[in-house]
Structures are given as C-alpha cells and as structure tokens.
C-alpha cells in the first residue's frame, strides 16, 4: 500500500474508548488510559510520516453531561499525562509545541495548571504542533467569536469589517490552521460540531475500529486513502 501524499494537518476524533472497555470487560478508566497511550503512539506514527500539525478532541463541552465520576477519572488521566516527565521529554526531543484549546474555565484548577505548564515549556517550538481540544464545542467556539467581536466593537466604538481571517482571530481555536484530513474512529460517521471553521474543505475518514484498536497500519491505510483523493476546494 503506497502513500502518495501526506496531509500537513490531521485532526482526530478518537471515539470508542468506553465501548472498547465494555467489550473487553475492563473498567472505563482503563479504557481511557489505553486511549491516551494510543494517542501518544499515534502522534509518533504521524511524526514518521512527516505530519507537522495534529489536533485531537480530548473532551467536548457535551462530554460534561457524562457521570461525574467518569469525568473526574478522565481528568486525572490527563493530569497524569501532563505531568509525566517521559511525555514532556518526547515533546522536547521532537521540538513539539503543545496547545490547549477550549474553555479552560470549565476544567479543574489542578488540571488546568498542569496543562498550562506544558504549554509554557513548549511554546517556543515551531517544528511540530499538537493541539488538545478540551472543554471544546464547535457551536460554542462560534458563539465565543461573535461575543468577542461584539466586545471589540463596543471597546473601540466602531464596526470592524469582518473577513474570514479577521473573524477567525476571535475563535477559541484561532491557532488551529485549516485541516487537511479528519480521522474519526469507531465507525461513527458524523462530525459532532468538530472545528466547523477549520474543516469546511477537509477530507473525512471514518475508521471502523474502536480507538484503542487503531494501529499503525490503520493510519497508513487512512493516509493512503487521503493520497488517492482529489481536493478541488469548490473549483
């Protein structure tokens, strides 16, 4: 299976951790732990292909409707990963900037602090970027931009002309470039409000496997499929 071309930007919706845990009769916590480790592996596989920018949807605004104990367990896993010296070492070795994008006020203070420390320690890197969407929702992102635009108009006392580029500056996700390729696992064929501004011309790929089962060969298959597609951007 040949890889003809590689996307510059990949966005990931790693779906199916809970279902995988249930099918293997292990705890949801263990399923999420495997999911986090799988993303670490995924980011390394992407590095091998030369992908420079990865965005992963770690926790949506809708996910806050889940049971409290499940949310707390997942946040503990994220905090553990954020404070893992081995993970931080790999970010430095690969000269990877780590961004956290979403409504951070929704997160526990200890998790928010841990993530912001990693952001600060990697902010000077320009070779690669990993964007973590947490406390993020697509509709909320657009509403946030509209509210911020309105504040700017009130502050300066005149209407600001909006273009694609000027509006994007008001988004929470302003740092994320247009996405070439979106991968969603677990055979869920929908977007669920994922980065509506950045994926208007993205190629979409829906993998059958649950996220913890996603492998290096599955990524190769996905990228090979991307290489076979013709992107015309409306022309």
Catalytic residues: 15, 63
CB atoms within 10 A of CB 220: 16
DSSP secondary structure of 144-208? HHHHHHHHHHHHHTSPPPP-HHHHHTTSTTTTSPPPSEEEE-TT----TT--TTT-TT-EEEE-S
Token digits of residue 25 = 């009769």
Token digits of residue 198 = 């950045």
Question: What are the strands of the beta sheet with 181-184, ordered from one edge?
Answer: 96-101, 128-136, 53-60, 9-13, 181-184, 203-206
Token digits of residue 7 = 């996307």
Helix (H, G, I), strand (E, B) or coil at 55: strand
Structural Rg of the chain based on CA atoms: 18
C-beta of residue 132 within 8 angstroms of C-beta of residue 115: yes
């Amino acid at each position: 299976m040949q890889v003809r071309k590689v996307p510059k930007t990949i966005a990931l919706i790693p779906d199916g951790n809970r279902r995988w845990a249930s099918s293997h009769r292990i705890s949801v916590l263990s399923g999420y732990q495997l999911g986090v480790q799988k993303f670490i592996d995924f980011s390394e596989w992407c590095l091998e292909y030369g992908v420079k920018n990865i965005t992963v949807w770690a926790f949506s605004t809708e996910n806050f409707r889940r049971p409290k104990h499940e949310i707390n367990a997942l946040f503990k896993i994220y905090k553990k990963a954020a404070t893992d010296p081995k993970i931080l070492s790999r970010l430095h070795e690969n000269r990877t900037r780590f961004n956290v994008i979403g409504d951070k006020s929704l997160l526990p203070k200890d998790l928010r602090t841990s993530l912001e420390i990693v952001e600060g320690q990697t902010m000077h890197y320009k070779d690669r970027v990993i964007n973590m969407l947490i406390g993020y929702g697509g509709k909320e992102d657009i509403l946030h931009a509209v509210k911020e635009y309105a504040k700017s108009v009130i502050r300066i006392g005149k209407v600001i002309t909006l273009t694609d580029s000027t509006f994007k500056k008001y988004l929470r996700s302003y740092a994320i470039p247009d996405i070439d390729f979106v991968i969603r696992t677990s055979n869920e064929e929908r977007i669920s409000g994922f980065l509506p501004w950045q994926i208007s011309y993205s190629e979409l790929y829906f993998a059958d496997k649950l996220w913890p089962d996603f492998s290096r060969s599955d990524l190769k298959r996905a990228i090979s499929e991307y290489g076979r597609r013709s992107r015309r951007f409306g022309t």
